[in-house]
């Protein structure tokens, strides 16, 4: 039955190409929109995700970074470092400030870091160094490329001229440009103590229990909100969805529905248009059970070919976008396209079986009609 279905399918290669192409474009639409949404969320939490700190401290009542201002007591970092079970504590200052690059003002998340700390700054550099002194800054390589900035050039923050010391990677996105400056310099610009911190990141000792350490920290720094990294990530993702990801989610949902409808319509139309072929099969003795089997096999062959073509095209589009628009992250993981298989199977079965009554009632004499 498979050989018969395949022979009947490739008899009209243009029709097969149209069916496969329709499914492929629908899969491409679904995966790209899903990937764009996933990439946006990944960009929004990239700083938190890439810091090796299982525990975070913020000002009481603060559970995220975007759209908030957090400032801990000046001596909070010193108190935290003295807590048993804390291997390393790093404090960073954080502010939303426009960076002047040439004549352009680029809204940015500015992190004040201590160059002697083992983490808290950029997690990946493409050029230069992250050891920022008082008059240095690290900016993302995409931002630098966009405005023709190189290591050694200058930009302005709060009226201060800073020299680009290094170029980071993965710190520039649609709404998440991050730059890194010296903590003392940022403290002076913000009018706070150099010992102050907006957030404190904690690496516990290997033998320390996080629950016990968290409870102890709450007694030592009662003014702080102490969170696990996973909780902090989840709250930040929730906020980004409330800010603008709801629009992206709506676009993603509409695109998903459109994609499924295209797949269903493509398979349905391909089935209906093969009425003459099914008439030929009935004329040579095929019964209804065999016809239904052939219809389903042909539908699944076309859908499978379109599916794999769509997956391949989506990875190609991602590579192309990354090359042309490196600030746009489209994240397509294996689980995302594998997860579409059950839905695709359901849509294909429904689309192929909807016209089945028409197929089974096909008059064998249709083969003699011109």
* Residue position matching structure tokens 């509409």: 254
Mean pLDDT of 246-273: 67
**Which residues does residue 88 pair with via DSSP β-bridges, in sequence order?**
203
Residue 182's CB is within 10 A of a number of other CB atoms, namely: 23
Taking only the tens place, the pLDDT of each residue in 144-176 is 988 899 999 999 998 889 999 999 988 887 667
pLDDT category at 31 given cuts 50, 70, 90 is: confident
The model's pTM is 0.71
Contact between 3 and 269 under an 8 Å Cβ cutoff? The reply is: no
The encoded tokens of residue 9 equal 């399918």
- Residue bearing the bigger pLDDT, 135 or 32: 135
H or E, element range at 61: none
Mean pLDDT of 2-22: 66
Taking only the tens place, the pLDDT of each residue in 288-340 is 676 677 777 877 888 888 889 989 998 999 888 877 776 677 778 888 778 87
Nearest to 38 by CA among 344, 341, 347, 337: 337
Instruction: Indicate whether 353 pLDDT > 90.
Output: no
Predicted local distance difference test score (pLDDT) of residue 164: 96
Contacts of range 187-192, beta carbons closer than 8 Å, 24 or more positions apart: 187/93, 187/112, 189/157, 189/158, 189/160, 190/93, 190/95, 192/71, 192/93
Predicted local distance difference test score (pLDDT) of residue 277: 63
Cα separation, 330 vs 318, whole angstroms: 6
The torsion angles phi and psi of 229, rounded to 5 degrees, stand at -60, -40
Predicted local distance difference test score (pLDDT) of residue 109: 92
Contact between 64 and 44 under an 8 Å Cβ cutoff? The reply is: no
- Residue bearing the bigger pLDDT, 24 or 60: 60
Taking only the tens place, the pLDDT of each residue in 173-221 is 766 789 999 999 999 988 899 999 999 999 999 999 999 999 999 999 9
Taking only the tens place, the pLDDT of each residue in 315-329 is 999 888 877 776 677
Contact between 340 and 30 under an 8 Å Cβ cutoff? The reply is: yes
* Residue position matching structure tokens 């498979």: 2
- Residue bearing the bigger pLDDT, 31 or 10: 31
Would you list the DSSP string of 169-213?
SS---SS--EEEEEHHHHHHHHTS-TT-BSEEEEEE-TT--HHHH
pLDDT category at 276 given cuts 50, 70, 90 is: low
**For the chain, domain boundaries:** 2-44+245-368, 73-222
Taking only the tens place, the pLDDT of each residue in 90-103 is 999 999 988 998 78
Would you list the DSSP string of 224-288?
EEEEEHHHHHHHHHHHHIIIIIHHHHHHHHHHHHHHHHHHHHHHHHHHHTTHHHHHHHHHTT--H
CA R_g for the chain: 29
Taking only the tens place, the pLDDT of each residue in 50-77 is 999 999 999 999 998 887 889 999 999 9
Instruction: Indicate whether 267 pLDDT > 70.
Output: no
pLDDT category at 275 given cuts 50, 70, 90 is: low
The encoded tokens of residue 50 equal 């890439």
CA atoms within 13 A on the CB side of 366: 17
Predicted local distance difference test score (pLDDT) of residue 279: 62
């Amino acid at each position: 039955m498979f050989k018969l279905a395949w022979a009947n399918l490739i008899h009209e290669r243009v029709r097969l190409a149209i069916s496969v192409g329709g499914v492929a474009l629908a899969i491409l639409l679904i995966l790209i929109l899903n990937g764009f949404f996933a990439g946006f969320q990944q960009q929004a939490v990239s700083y938190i995700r890439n810091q090796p700190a299982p525990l975070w401290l913020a000002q009481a009542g603060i559970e995220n970074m975007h759209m908030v201002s957090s400032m801990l007591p000046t001596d909070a970092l010193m108190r935290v470092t003295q807590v048993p079970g804390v291997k390393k504590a790093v404090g960073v200052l954080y502010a939303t400030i426009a960076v002047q690059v040439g004549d352009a003002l680029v809204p940015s998340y500015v992190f004040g870091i201590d160059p002697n700390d083992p983490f808290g700054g950029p997690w990946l550099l493409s050029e230069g160094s992250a050891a920022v002194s008082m008059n240095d800054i690290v900016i993302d390589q995409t931002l630098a490329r966009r405005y023709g900035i190189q290591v050694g050039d200058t930009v302005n923050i709060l009226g201060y001229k800073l020299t680009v010391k290094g170029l980071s990677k993965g710190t520039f996105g649609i709404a998440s440009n991050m730059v890194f400056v010296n903590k003392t310099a940022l403290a002076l610009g913000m009018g706070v103590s150099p010992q102050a911190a907006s957030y404190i990141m904690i690496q516990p000792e290997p033998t320390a229990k996080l629950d016990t350490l968290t409870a102890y920290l709450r007694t030592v720094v009662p003014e702080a909100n102490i969170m696990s990294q996973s909780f902090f990530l989840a709250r930040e993702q929730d906020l980004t969805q409330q800010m603008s990801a709801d629009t992206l989610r709506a676009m993603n949902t509409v695109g998903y529905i459109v994609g499924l409808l295209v797949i269903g319509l493509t398979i349905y139309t391909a089935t209906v248009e093969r009425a003459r072929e099914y008439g030929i099969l009935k004329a040579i003795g095929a019964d209804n059970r065999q016809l239904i089997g052939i219809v389903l096999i042909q539908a699944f062959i076309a859908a499978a070919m379109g599916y794999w073509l769509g997956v391949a095209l989506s990875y190609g589009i991602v590579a192309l976008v990354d090359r042309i628009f490196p600030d746009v992250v489209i994240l397509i993981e294996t689980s995302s396209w594998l997860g579409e298989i059950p839905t695709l199977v359901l849509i294909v079965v429904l689309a192929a079986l909807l016209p089945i009554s028409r197929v089974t009632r096909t008059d064998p004499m249709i083969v003699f009609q011109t």
